[in-house]
Amino acid sequence: MRRLGLTTILLVSSSGCLPLSQPPITVDRYDALQNNQGFIQVVTGNGAACATDQDGLTSCWGEELQDQGPFEVPDQELVYLESSLGPEATFCGITTANRLECWGRSDAPKSLVLASPTDQPEWFDLAVGDQHACALDDHGQLYCWGDDGQGQLDVPDAAFLMVDAAGDLSCGLDAALQVRCWGGGEAIPLWIENAVGTTAWDLILGQSYLCLGEPDDDLWYYTCFTEETPQGSVLPAMGLVDESTGGDHHLCVLHDRHVVSCSGDDSQDQLAIQDEDVPWIHVSAGVGATCGVHGVGSIYCYGDIPGPQEGTP
């Protein structure tokens, strides 16, 4: 799940690899992964990732679990991608025709894949939970669809500036920069309750945390609310944030000079991306992995997801 830093928004208004001896993707998508160049965006989910190139072609790769089929990637050109952290490896995107498209492996939840909004406003932001998704239009109207067993569709009556989702929970910043959260069933965790109502300029929601960012001169500070620190703890200061991304138990930001900084779980070496001395233009945190797009348009992944070329003949 990725989000642009709110300063940018205000200025403009996911081990293993698919066996590829018989590629479960069309030839042009297969070639795109082998060539590994010209990509502009990548999103990392649970054991899988998808990326879009400069022509809007989207290609996916990752685990092929037993009883799961290949990715059913839409043919439309996509300009924005988001992913869930759930086991179904569900992805959603915004097309050049301004429609919402969701897909996953062949067993992805049909309620999520097929029931996206039919309206076509100017979509502005997108978030994908395990069984639900939310999209924000350029007027601040928020739409959520999919499973509602835990109140995932009980969107607060407010105008929003951004939205994020993880599991059965969603959180967003309203027009007054106040944190609002919904879903999660009847027992909202204390660490979520403590964050609600806080003023913030950026919001990153993972399976086990909610981090809120705020700029101070040329630095950004993130306060993270977790079960261990329900009152919030402050991460080390970071430079000017261009985009932020939340994984299962870790997060990363892309800041000034195209540098990536990460925090949280590193059990799969998913934080190793921050040690690379290369210019990054995009970063995405998943469950046990982090992927990024290098300045030349190539994708590199760290953790339990291989890069797009690995495992190809």
Summarize pLDDT for 265-291 with one digit per residue, the tens: 999 999 999 999 999 999 999 999 999
In the predicted model, what is the mean pLDDT of the chain?
84
Summarize pLDDT for 164-218 with one digit per residue, the tens: 999 999 999 999 999 999 999 888 899 999 999 999 999 999 989 999 999 998 8
Task: Give the model's pLDDT for residue 294.
Answer: 94
Task: Give the model's pLDDT for residue 186.
Answer: 81
Summarize pLDDT for 118-174 with one digit per residue, the tens: 667 899 899 999 889 999 999 999 999 888 999 999 999 999 999 999 999 999 999
Task: Give the model's pLDDT for residue 115.
Answer: 58
Task: Give the model's pLDDT for residue 182.
Answer: 96
Summarize pLDDT for 23-45 with one digit per residue, the tens: 345 556 788 888 999 999 999 99
pLDDT band at 112 (very low <50, low <70, confident <90, very high): low
SS (H, E, C) the chain: CEEECHHHHHHCCCCCCCCCCCCCCCHHHHHHHHHCCCEEEEEECCCEEEEEECCCCEEEEECCCCCCCCCCCCCCCEEEEEECCCCCCCEEEEECCCCEEEECCCCCCHHHHHCCCCCCCCEEEEEECCCEEEEEECCCCEEEEECCCCCCCCCCCCCEEEEEEECCEEEEEECCCEEEEEECCCCCCHHHHHHCCCECCEEEECCCEEEEEEEECCEEEEEEEECCCCCCEECCCECCEEEEEECCCEEEEEEHHHEEEEEECCCCCHHHHHHCCCCEEEEEECCCEEEEEECCCCEEEEECCCCCCCCCC
Task: Give the model's pLDDT for residue 6.
Answer: 44
Task: Give the model's pLDDT for residue 41.
Answer: 95
Q: What's domain 2-183+264-303's architecture?
A: 7 Propeller (2.130)
What's the average model confidence in pLDDT over 75-99? 88
